[in-house]
Amino acid sequence: MKNEKVWKIAMTGVFAALSYVVFTFLQFKIWLPGGDATSIHFGNAVCVLGALILGGVYGGIGGAIGMTIGDLLDPVYVVYAPKTFILKFCIGLIAGLIAHKIGKINEQTDQKQIFKWALLAAIGGLLFNVIFDPLIGYFYKLVLLGKPAAEVTLSWNVAATSINAILSTIASVVIYMALRPALQKSGLFSQVKAAAK
Amino acid sequence: MSLKLEDVTYTYSPGTAYEMHALEHINLEFPNGQFVGIIGHTGSGKSTLVQHLNGLIRPTAGRVLYNGEDIWKEGYPLRELRSHVGLVFQYPEHQLFETDVITDVCFGPKNQGLSSEECRKRAEEALDHVGFPKEMYEKSPFELSGGQKRRVAIAGVLAMNPDFLVLDEPTAGLDPKGRDEILDQLVLLHKTRGISVVLVSHSMEDIAKYVERIIVMNHGHVAFDDTPKKVFAHYKELEKIGLAAPQMTYIMHALKEHGMDVDVTATTVEEARDTILAALESQKKNGKKGAEVC
Amino acid sequence: MLRDITLGQYYPADSILHRLDPRVKFVGTIVYVISLFLFHNWGYLLGTVFLAVMIKLSKVPFKFITKGLKSIFVLLAITMVFNILFTPGEVLVRIWKITITREGVAMACRMSVRLIFLMIGSSLMTLTTTPNQLTDALESLLGPLKKIHVPVHEISMMMSIALRFIPILLEETDKIMKAQMARGADFESGNIIQRVKNMVPLLVPLFISAFRRANDLALAMEARCYHGGEGRTQMKPLRYQTRDYAAYGVLMAYLVCSIGLRVCGL
Amino acid sequence: MGMIRAAGLGYEYLRYEEEGQEPEVTKAIEDVSLEIQKGQFIAVLGHNGSGKSTLAKHINALLVPTEGTMWVDDMKTTDEEDVWKIRQKAGMVFQNPDNQIIGNVVEEDVGFGPENLGVPTDEIWKRVEESLTATGMISYRAHSPNKLSGGQKQRVAIAGVMAMQPECIVLDEPTAMLDPNGRKEVLRAVRKLNEEKGVTVILITHYMEEVVFADRVFVMDNGKLVMQGTPREIFSEVEKLKELRLDVPQVTLLAYELRKNGVDLPEGILTIEELVNALCH
Ligand SMILES: Nc1ncnc2c1ncn2[C@@H]1O[C@H](COP(=O)(O)OP(=O)(O)OP(=O)(O)O)[C@@H](O)[C@H]1O
Ligand SMILES: Nc1ncnc2c1ncn2[C@@H]1O[C@H](COP(=O)(O)OP(=O)(O)OP(=O)(O)O)[C@@H](O)[C@H]1O
Ligand SMILES: [Mg+2]
Ligand SMILES: [Mg+2]
């Protein structure tokens, strides 16, 4: 590939579409009271996966764009779009930092090491989400819904985000471990590796 | 054993602005042991039709019967049906996911609840049937060539030991030899294992060469349902609905017009050759030279 | 369902709002949201009038606008109940341990109205602007961020690629899902862990296919001489028309009125 | 002097599976030399994996040779500074119609190329209109590509290349994913460009019938250029083509079978008329 930049833009754009699809198509309809952001979905898992595959920056942007499009297309969530963008980007950034800068996951050949770093990256990224999603969500609701409602939904939100984080961790690691050999054999891995550098 | 569609209608996104009647009042029967071809213009409903055959989509109205039983009645084992009626999608290689070929082919049998030895046996049989070399069983499906991937994917469905094998354009994108190899394997399976085959194809030549019955779809309706010779006799009508006859049909008609006494129903190269040779022979016998006839 | 998906909820019509520059609508929505938080009492009247006029101008049937409201019903109910119950102030009714205050009722009403107006206001933007126009508007409005090395052009390019590929990948997901179901896969039952595992036969092919597509796309873009934002001209550059300046004027006036009302404490 | 020339062209794909290991080498093309004149209609045949796509990507510098040289209009594809000029001169259409359309509206996609070239806005509109008219897609200009059929999408892709005003257009199996009507539409558009605008066309295909109209045919096998000639010359070698996993048009095959059975027919019959005329006169 001669032009890295074009390649990265295409890859990230398609990945954003993929995130949106995985996010909307694969939702477990377990609605908790409170309505928003509490259904169990794979959106965050996709951000982590993006970071594991494409690296923190591009994977993060891809995931973030995908989720943000989801928000922009739905008037209920339009106001949440900036929050989504920043939070999801950070999930990717942190997961990518752990996996690639610290773990050097792309250079690992031992399955156990790969598993370990994928897991740590997922935990890192999602732990961030467990703290900051409810927190920022709280300020949003404080303004939008008033203090009493914000306080009550905060606890629900914490519960839902935590459950989501645990499931997302499992999902992203399981899928990454299955995906990596497939990427390698199909000759795509050496290319995505370039983006993660 | 048979598959039967009774008055099947299917509508995509009913009740919205994008409502699309993909199938309307389809009545068809697929008896056991036939080699059937389905042709039709793009969007005529071929793929929608074949997805009804193994219960992947539920008709908006009408019934689908397998061995006389309604597959959509309460409690019908749909997953079991899917192992009797194997469906190979267009570009089936896009569904491969396992780390090696043999495990991927085992996916179907495994879902049927077979033991791992049994799965392996089935998988090996199936791979053998599609002519996939043994040495490559441990390779990743992702490092195979297009034609090889296609075979593995077909084997993945075959391994479930279906009685019906439905293939949606199995040869798209393959080179001519690869095309012939896959289709020849199908004929072999049909003959040796008695599997019923339903082949969706855009190639009139392939259809003419392989199938014993053609179903022609047009805008969600069945336009023709007959033997290839009879269907292709309507080649003018076929052209009107965006299809064509095999090249041989055109040659035969052209020759006939020029006064050569050939059998216009010849659709394959072999048939055409034989009838032309016969016609030339009789011209010679009658003492006339070809040029005088024309 | 999938092939014909129109992303978002754009309602095609020929109205002034549809024809306005997307940047104006974007800014307008923000101004409107700000104004909602400025209002106290009488301001809401101004907000209502403004919104009503906009709805009228948009030519979008009212039922399309309110369709989204159903999904915030739960949120609305929670807001009402908790604000009524937990806002301290002058007691109106007391039943056993539950007290309802005047402030609480006022607060609940204000919050609900604000929420509903916010929803309708932003719906109006998404109903009259296509996702692509929105992307263009964002690129243009965020343009100044380029100075601090935010890759605005790149991000907006990624966004339009994403919009282009969403329907394609949705259809692909459906296809792979069906293909695996034909092989006996089961996506519906099992506990959550089981279900995540069952997703592998769907997600691995989906990801691989998406990356393949991205690869093809990158080649196609390169073949058409794409090399980032520099030296690029635009086929449809966003250019303000007279009506857009007029619209900015109206927005300005509206904002001034809102602030005025707030300052006067009305 | 030919517009496109290759001398001793070779290309190797390297694939690093694991860090530190020897890369896996695939020699995709080897020692290919060819020359293509301006305005010609060229067809390239070859089995799956024979190196057709790899060769095609060399023509607009998406790949640069690991051996030998490629010239496009006397510019070497290895010269960095000429890359954009080469890509503008030699456009490319790919197999999958979905993966090469970038715009969300037909006309915007067609305008994408000229935008990248820095063409002024008014000129872009003119070019978009022209190329959509030339490919017969002008009435779809405001449609979303998602709602077009495969053949229509492929024609949009061709229009997108045309808008860059190339002198040569390389089509890598543009009809592989289409139905017969879509194939006809695309082929008609391509032939029109070749005949009316004098655009050099290089068409890669697995459909022998599409080759009949070409001025010249190249046949690839395992990375090597093994045959070249007019369609008539190529298709008269039925046995050799079969060995190369290829085929001949059905008419040609019939004529070949008849000849084998002693009927007096000329070699390399390509069309129905030719066969009928030969048989009846
Ligand atoms: N998922 C879907 N959502 C909405 N409409 C659909 C969907 N799938 C198919 N259709 C529509 O239903 C009709 C029949 O489609 P179908 O895919 O069955 O045709 P086909 O004969 O298989 O065509 P092709 O030869 O292109 O494969 C078409 O008009 C198509 O646009
Ligand atoms: N990105 C790649 N990395 C490694 N090997 C590759 C790559 N692309 C192609 N190859 C290999 O190079 C050889 C030539 O491939 P190419 O795609 O040029 O063939 P083709 O003639 O276009 O085949 P098809 O008819 O299937 O499109 C094949 O053996 C293929 O496996
Ligand atoms: Mg189909
Ligand atoms: Mg190729």
Query: Cβ contacts of residue A150 below 8 Å, gap of 6+?
Result: A138, A141, A142
* pLDDT average, residue stretch D47-68: 93
Which residues on D lie below 8 Å from A190 (Cβ)? 15-17
> Which amino acid is located at B36 in the chain?
V
Same domain, B212 and B276: no
Name the strand (E) or helix (H) holding B21.
Answer: strand B20-31
Per-residue pLDDT, C70: 72
Q: B265 and B127 share a domain?
A: no
Residue C185 lies in a domain: yes
**Whether D18 and A187 lie within 8 Å, measured CB to CB:** no
More confident residue, C173 or B143: C173
The C-alpha atoms of residue D23 and residue D15 are separated, in whole angstroms, by 5
- Burial label for C113, CB within 10 Å (0-12, 13-18, 19+), is middle
Mean pLDDT confidence for D175-193: 90
Neighbours of B226 (CB within 10 A): 14
Closest Cβ opposite residue C217 in set D100, D118, D147 = D100
CA proximity to D150, closest of D93, D207, D212: D93
What is the reported pLDDT for B159?
94
Confidence of residue D170 (pLDDT cuts 50, 70, 90): very high
Residue D198 has pLDDT above 50, yes or no: yes
Q: Confidence class of residue A77 from pLDDT cuts 50, 70 and 90?
A: confident
pLDDT of residue B238: 93
Q: How many A from CA of D203 to the centre of ligand 4?
A: 11
Q: Please answer whether residues C2 and C174 qualify as being in contact, where contact means their C-beta atoms are separated by less than 8 angstroms.
A: yes
Question: Structurally, how many domains does chain C consist of?
Answer: 2
> Which amino acid would we find at residue B83?
S
Domain span at A69: 2-196
Q: Are residues B26 and B77 in the same domain?
A: yes
> What is the reported pLDDT for D19?
57
CA D60–ligand 2 middle distance (angstroms): 17
Question: What's the pLDDT score for residue A1?
Answer: 43
Chain D neighbours, 3+ Cβ pairs < 8 A:
A, B, C
Residues B273 and B163 placed together within one structural domain of the fold: no
The answer as to whether C138 is a domain residue is no
Q: Is D149 in the pocket of ligand 2 (CB under 6 A)?
A: no
- Structure token digits, residue B185: 């394997």
Q: CB neighbours (10 Å) of residue D105? A: 18
Q: Residues D4-226: name the CATH superfamily.
A: P-loop containing nucleotide triphosphate hydrolases (3.40.50.300)
Q: What is the pLDDT of residue D194?
A: 94
pLDDT value at B136 more than 80: yes
The pLDDT of residue C1 is 37
Residue-range definition of the domain harbouring residue C224:
149-232
Identify the CATH number of the domain in which residue A133 sits: 1.10.1760.20
If one counts the domains in chain B, the total is: 2
Residues B201 and B257 in one domain: no
Low-confidence stretches of chain C (pLDDT < 70) are 1-8, 68, 71, 266
Cα(B221)–Cα(B235) distance, integer angstroms: 18
Q: Tell how far CA C113 is from the center of its chain.
A: 19
Structure tokens at C31: 């101004």
Q: Report pLDDT for A37.
A: 42
In a domain, C209, yes or no: yes
Max distance between CA atoms of chain C, in angstroms, equals: 75
Q: Which of D15, D18, D64 sits opposite A109 (nearest CB)?
A: D18
Helix (H, G, I), strand (E, B) or coil at B25: strand
**Res D178: pLDDT:** 86
For residue D57, the distance in angstroms to the closest alpha carbon of chain B comes to 19
Are C118 and C177 part of one and the same domain?
Answer: no
Q: Would C13 be classed as within a structural domain?
A: yes
Q: Is C179 exposed, middle or buried (0-12, 13-18, 19+ CB in 10 A)?
A: buried
Distance in angstroms (rounded) separating the CA atoms of residues C150 and A61: 12
A149-163, A164-178, B170-184: range with lowest mean pLDDT: A149-163
What pLDDT is stored for residue D21 in this prediction?
67
Enclosing domain of residue B277 = 250-285
For all residues of chain A together, what is the average pLDDT?
A: 84
Residue whose C-alpha is closest to residue C35's, from C121, C127, C125: C121
Residue D154 Cα to ligand 3 middle (Å):
18
Q: What is the pLDDT of residues B66-90, one digit of tens each?
A: 999 999 998 899 888 998 999 999 8
Q: What is the CB-side half-sphere exposure of residue C207 using CA atoms within 13 A?
A: 29
CA closest to D99 among chain C residues: C217
Q: What is the pLDDT of residues A4-45, one digit of tens each?
A: 889 999 999 999 999 999 888 777 655 444 444 445 678 889
Structure tokens at C256: 């001034």
Nearest CB neighbour to C176, from listed B16, B87, B94: B94
pLDDT at A174 over 50: yes
Mean per-residue pLDDT over chain B, rounded = 90
Does residue B291 lie in a domain region? no
Identify which of B5, B24, B42 to mutate to test ligand 1's pocket (most ligand atoms within 8 A of the CB): B42
| Residues paired with B85 in a beta bridge | B164
pLDDT per residue as tens digits for the range B187-231:
999 999 899 999 999 999 999 999 999 999 999 999 999 999 999
Residues D262-271, mean pLDDT to the nearest whole number: 87
CB-CB contact of D107 with D132 (8 Å): yes
Report residue A98's pLDDT band, with 50, 70 and 90 as the boundaries: very high
CB D102 within 8 A of CB D66: no
Residue whose CA lies nearest to ligand 2 atom number 12:
D28
Give the closest residue to D36 by CA, choosing from D69, D1, D67, D68.
Answer: D1
Strand ranges inside chain C, DSSP E: 91-95, 98-101
β-strand pairing of D168-172 with D200-204: parallel
Same-domain check for residues C228 and C251:
no
B287 exposure class (CB count in 10 Å sphere: 0-12, 13-18, 19+): exposed
Query: Would B244 be classed as within a structural domain?
Result: no
> Which of residues A134 and D229 earns the better pLDDT score?
D229
The edge-to-edge listing of strands for the beta sheet with D4-15 is D24-36, D4-15, D67-72, D75-76
Number of domains composing chain A: 1
Judgement on whether residues B219 and B265 belong to the same structural domain of the protein = no
pLDDT at A30: 52
Closest-CA residue of chain D to A105: D19
Same-domain check for residues C117 and C197: no
Of D8 and C92, which is predicted with more confidence? D8
Q: Give the whole-number percent of chain A exceeding pLDDT 90.
A: 41
CA distance A84 to A133: 9
- Out of D17, D47, D50, give the residue to mutate to test ligand 2, the one with the largest number of ligand atoms within 8 Å of its CB: D50
* Structure confidence at residue D20 as a pLDDT band (50, 70, 90): low
Residue D57 pLDDT: 94
For position C203, what pLDDT does the model report? 93
Whether residue B255 is found in the same domain as residue B158: no
Q: Which residues contact C244 (CB under 8 A, 6 or more apart)?
A: C20, C21, C23, C24
Chain A, 162-191: which have a CB under 8 Å from a chain B CB? 178, 181-182, 185-187
Euclidean distance between CA atoms B241 and A38, whole angstroms: 51
Sheet holding D224-229, edge to edge: D90-93, D168-172, D200-204, D41-46, D216-221, D224-229
Residues B28 and B140 in one domain: yes
What is the model's pLDDT at position A34?
45
